[in-house]
Amino acid sequence: MPKEHTGLSLDGQGKPLWLSLEMTYRCPLKCSWCNNPLDFEDYAARELNTEEWKGVLRDGRELGALQLGFTGGEPLMRDDLEELVAYADGIGYYTNLITSGIGLTEERLLALKAAGLKQIQLSLQATKSEVTDALVGARAHALKLDAARLIKQHGFPMVLNMPVFKQNIGMIGEMVEWAAGLGIEYIEFANIQYYNWALLNRDELMPTLEQLREAERVVNEWRAKLGKAMTIYFVIPDYYEGRPKACMNGWGAIHLTVAPDGVAMPCQEARAIPGLEFQSVREKPLSWLWHESDLFRKYRGLDWLPEPCSSCSEKEKDFGGCRCQAFLLTGDAGNTDPACSRSPHHHLVQEAVAVAVKPIRFRKPLVKRSAQAVETAFMEG
């Protein structure tokens, strides 16, 4: 299957072009593919306060960050979101809200618009309420549709994000049709990456290659039909590609995430890797964390790459793939990403694909995002 983007590389010239603020890990939903940490409840009491987040915003601009994502968990669970959006807009960020839509009332939307919010990314899991609600563990579908209508009614550019897996991949055409009717400009079909909660549920979530090919055919039909009226992204899972994705365009290259407790990371999954030293903006300046910390320097650039990556002609395209995935599947973050067919560990990905497509097998219920569910899953595993 062809890659959605081939050979795309952004040179941030040592600057974090994209700053992602994980305002909180609190969320009203229980998605079984959530990429927040399994121990998410431990962070609630340690969230940065309003003034601390403003300090992060100032420091990020001084570093050169331009694009800003307010995310979570669910960022609308922070009462100071509007104040922080206004502050970010005032110092020159292009602001994005990444939300489930739960809690996005017209009053809050108007307040966010007045504060200077520029764009909203809304997640929607299915075109049918019974499917969405079952997947997210809450009666959320109608609320999400209302949020989408409000966003367009008040003139926001909008990205509709549909995480794709076995349970909803057959709804892609219906989703494009619905989004086009609402006037949505961008839609992203993101085949999920298997970290944290998604890894716990990988066997039940992963679609087959045949399903992916059919979905890609449907996407291409809609692209031809809609032309420039809508940009449709279809992010193919690297388990089927034979080559890893250039995760975050390389470790510590252009992306900077700040977790709810102020820990700065090259990506939101980095804490899955043990043995790394994670430091907070409460302890060190953001500039030092980005430029000097062992964490950001650990896998930055190309000099650290192992074989077969170090002699590979594609190393400047994929940077050896994802460090978190390498650790989660092989136990060593320094290994070549097993999604690569040249990796000595590629068999691990092939085995996972084989399980997912096996026609007759014992099917397990999805593990929903909750502290009790994790305890049960680990005891059973």
Is 31 one of the annotated binding-site residues? yes
Lowest mean pLDDT among 53-57, 299-303, 340-344, 375-379: 375-379
Lowest mean pLDDT among 98-107, 313-322, 350-359: 350-359
Is pLDDT of 378 > 50? no
Which pLDDT belongs to residue 358?
75
Which pLDDT belongs to residue 360?
53
Is pLDDT of 59 > 60? yes
Residue pair 256/20 in contact by the 8 Å Cβ criterion: yes
Lowest mean pLDDT among 218-232, 302-316, 357-371: 357-371
Strand 264-265 and strand 18-22: the pairing is: unpaired
Which pLDDT belongs to residue 374?
52
Most confident of the following: 24-33, 113-122, 232-241: 113-122
Lowest mean pLDDT among 55-69, 221-235, 291-305, 348-362: 348-362
Lateral strand order in the sheet of 67-71 = 231-235, 186-191, 158-164, 119-123, 94-99, 67-71, 18-22, 255-258, 264-265
C-alpha to C-alpha distance for 362 and 81, rounded to whole angstroms = 44
Which pLDDT belongs to residue 235?
83
Overall average pLDDT of the 307-329 stretch: 94
pLDDT-above-90 percentage for the chain? 76
Which pLDDT belongs to residue 2?
31
Is 324 one of the annotated binding-site residues? no
Banded pLDDT at 8 (limits 50, 70, 90): very low
Which pLDDT belongs to residue 103?
96
C-alpha to C-alpha distance for 59 and 286, rounded to whole angstroms = 6
> For the segment 118-150, what is each residue's pLDDT rounded down to a tens digit?
999 999 999 999 999 999 999 999 999 999 999
> For the segment 192-211, what is each residue's pLDDT rounded down to a tens digit?
889 888 898 898 999 999 99
pTM of the model: 0.91
> For the segment 85-102, what is each residue's pLDDT rounded down to a tens digit?
999 999 999 999 999 999
pLDDT-above-70 percentage for the chain? 92
Distances (CA, A) of 197 to 130, 168, 239: 21, 17, 17
User: Mean pLDDT of all residues in the chain?
Assistant: 90
Overall average pLDDT of the 347-365 stretch: 79
Banded pLDDT at 11 (limits 50, 70, 90): low
Sign, Cα dihedral of 296, 268, 353, 222: negative
> For the segment 143-199, what is each residue's pLDDT rounded down to a tens digit?
999 999 999 999 999 999 999 999 999 999 999 999 999 999 999 999 988 988 889
Is pLDDT of 51 > 70? yes
Lowest mean pLDDT among 39-53, 248-262, 339-353: 39-53
C-alpha to C-alpha distance for 71 and 76, rounded to whole angstroms = 9
Which pLDDT belongs to residue 12?
57
Is 309 one of the annotated binding-site residues? no
Which pLDDT belongs to residue 220?
97
Residue 74 backbone dihedrals phi, psi, to 5 degrees: -110, 110
Which pLDDT belongs to residue 3?
35
Return the residue matching tokens 């995935």: 325
- Greater model confidence, 290 or 8: 290
